[in-house]
Amino acid sequence: MNDSVRGVFPHVLNHVIFELCRNGFILAFEKGLSDLKGLVPADSMDEDDFELLESVNDPVVNLLLASIEKVIRCAKTYYMINNLDELEIMENEEYNELASDSFYIYIMEWDSKSYEDVLFNLNIVYLSISQLLYHMSRQIELDSIEVPEEIYEEFLAKSDELLNGTLPADDKNVRLLYDLIISLNEDLLEIDKITRK
């Protein structure tokens, strides 16, 4: 795997963590942390702010935190199975820029006005994250940052196989991403159950 592809992986996962955390704070500010709205930015990534988010008694926020934990475990596993130095990778600005380019192809910032708007948009957020992770799996398979435009339609065509765990993956890193997609989808299904009540 070339260095750029290798380095982009954990940076993309960091962006995913950031997006899930941001949505958690937006939800929390509408209910459990409404008195802190405006004091702590929704896009905060400070460790103390995570503890604040963990204190919120909201099942959807708790599922977002569970998703964040899954992404963190995926990143740690990636570093371990590839024998990489986390600090060295995370300090590389080129990798971060390449990851940002991929991230912002898929993830949009929704102008959610209410708790219900955020809940509705979480389906799109999770789908976009899955598309992003699939994009990254194709980067690994092709050993290239650039992937064909057909990848967008390819993801939709293969999503059933992917979510059922039957899409083959010969590469350990691709399997890691596929497993993360499946696991995050399980969290989304739980969120859907909660929102239908």
Mean pLDDT computed over 176-194: 96
User: Mapped to the 3 state alphabet, what secondary structure does 27-76 carry?
Assistant: HHHHCCCHHHECCECCCCCCHHHHHHHHCCCCHHHHHHHHHHHHHHHHHH
pLDDT band at 48 (very low <50, low <70, confident <90, very high): low
Answer yes or no: is pLDDT of 128 > 80.
Answer: yes
HSE of 128, CA atoms in CB hemisphere, 13 A: 19
When the pLDDT of each residue in the chain is averaged and rounded to a whole number, the result is 89
Answer yes or no: is pLDDT of 110 > 70.
Answer: no
The three-point CA angle 187-191-193 to 5° equals 115
Which residues are within 8 A (CB) of 23 and not within 5 positions of it... i.e. 6 or more apart? 64, 118, 121, 122, 125
Q: Which carries the bigger pLDDT value, residue 63 or residue 116? A: 63
How far, in whole angstroms, is CA 155 from its chain's centroid? 16
C-alpha span between 56 and 33 (Å, rounded) = 7
Per-residue pLDDT tens digits for 78-100: 999 999 999 999 999 999 999 99
Per-residue pLDDT tens digits for 162-171: 999 999 999 9
Q: What is the DSSP letter of 124?
A: H
Q: What is the DSSP letter of 149?
A: T
| Token pair belonging to 164 | 């059922």
Which residues are within 8 A (CB) of 57 and not within 5 positions of it... i.e. 6 or more apart? 32
Residue 114: CB atoms within 10 A of its CB come to: 10
pTM of the model: 0.91
C-alpha span between 26 and 124 (Å, rounded) = 15
Q: What pLDDT does 54 receive?
A: 84
C-alpha span between 66 and 31 (Å, rounded) = 19
